[in-house]
């Protein structure tokens, strides 16, 4: 079975019912890869951080297909998409669409609207209060976020990995413990990253990233993030594919191998 991402039917309008399931990820992915191949890694990374696209046929005069495209981004990333960034992204997407006779008439960006929970006031007050000890900016405003030891987690996979790391931490002597930082904000050159787990041990720092279904088609962006983390002093980045892990024993072996590698001087 091919891992190639499905493409929209370019003989139809991009917002035709047959294309709605594929057009957003396809246009984002092809535009990001085009920019990466042309050496514009900054624009490629901006595109890769877009959550989704809203695409609407806007102008059909003179047999022209002109579209209104809106980038949807996480609220904390929204300030990065200024006029210059939008111009670069629009140019990339125009180059992708032009061979099919499709043009961009309007191009905008908006923040993703958070889901509203019944206790949203408590969420906002908790997010602004002193209790949480990790960053987790997006996760703190999600209705069903997981919390353990006053630390936030995006999903159950992250919390299960945290529990294994905490168990290994408890087994070590106080003079040789590990530090566990889930979803910690880190400023690197030109962007802010939130590694799933940043681990410290014996004077070294490494990162664990959990890859799920949402990472399909984002290998280029992941490699770019990993490279930036290494350039910022992270010893190495290990990725755990949650779709390939079936037992707790497999997670424990992954953690043991990770800590063995991190503990090497």
**What's 202's domain CATH number?**
3.40.1350
CB burial of residue 190 (10 Å; 0-12, 13-18, 19+): exposed
**What local confidence, expressed as pLDDT, does residue 2 receive?**
46
**Using an 8 Å Cβ cutoff, are 136 and 194 in contact?**
yes
Position 151 confidence tier, pLDDT thresholds 50, 70, 90: confident
Position 4 confidence tier, pLDDT thresholds 50, 70, 90: low
Provide the domain count of the chain: 2
**Whether residue 255 sits in one domain with residue 163:** yes
Per-residue CA distances from 250 to 135, 166, 179, 200, 212 (Å):
28, 16, 22, 22, 16
User: Which range of residues forms the domain containing residue 171?
Assistant: 148-262
Top pLDDT among 131 and 90 is at 90
How far apart, in whole angstroms, are the C-alpha atoms of residue 188 and residue 160? 28
Give the predicted TM-score (pTM) of the model.
0.55
Residue 210 CA from chain centroid, whole number: 11
Residue 39: give its domain's CATH number. 3.30.300
How far apart, in whole angstroms, are the C-alpha atoms of residue 59 and residue 145? 42
Place of tokens 């191009």: 107
How far apart, in whole angstroms, are the C-alpha atoms of residue 132 and residue 152? 7
**Whether residue 235 sits in one domain with residue 161:** yes
pLDDT per residue as tens digits for the range 211-241 = 876 545 555 566 778 888 998 999 999 999 8
């Amino acid at each position: 079975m091919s891992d190639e991402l499905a493409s929209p039917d370019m003989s139809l309008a991009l917002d035709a019912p047959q294309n709605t399931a594929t057009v957003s990820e396809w246009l984002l992915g092809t535009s990001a890869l085009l920019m990466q191949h042309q050496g514009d890694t900054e624009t490629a990374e901006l595109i890769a951080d877009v959550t989704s696209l809203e695409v609407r046929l806007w102008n059909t005069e003179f047999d022209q297909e002109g579209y209104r495209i809106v980038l949807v981004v996480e609220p904390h990333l929204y300030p990065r998409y200024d006029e210059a960034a939008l111009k670069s992204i629009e140019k990339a997407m125009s180059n992708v669409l032009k061979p099919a006779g499709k043009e961009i008439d309007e191009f905008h960006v908006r923040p993703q609207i958070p889901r509203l929970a019944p206790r949203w006031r408590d969420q906002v007050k908790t997010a602004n209060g002193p209790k949480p000890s990790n960053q987790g900016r997006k996760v703190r405003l999600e209705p069903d976020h997981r919390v353990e030891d006053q630390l936030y987690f995006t999903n159950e996979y992250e919390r299960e990995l945290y529990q294994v790391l905490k168990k290994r931490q408890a087994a070590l002597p106080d003079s040789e413990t590990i530090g566990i930082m889930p979803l910690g904000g880190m400023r690197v050159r030109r962007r802010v990253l939130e590694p799933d787990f940043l681990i410290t041990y014996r004077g070294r720092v490494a990162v664990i990233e959990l890859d799920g279904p949402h990472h399909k088609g984002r290998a280029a962006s992941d490699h770019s993030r990993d490279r930036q983390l290494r350039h910022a002093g992270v010893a190495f980045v290990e990725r755990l594919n949650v779709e390939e892990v079936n037992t707790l024993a497999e997670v424990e072996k992954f953690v043991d191998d990770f800590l063995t590698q991190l503990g090497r001087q």
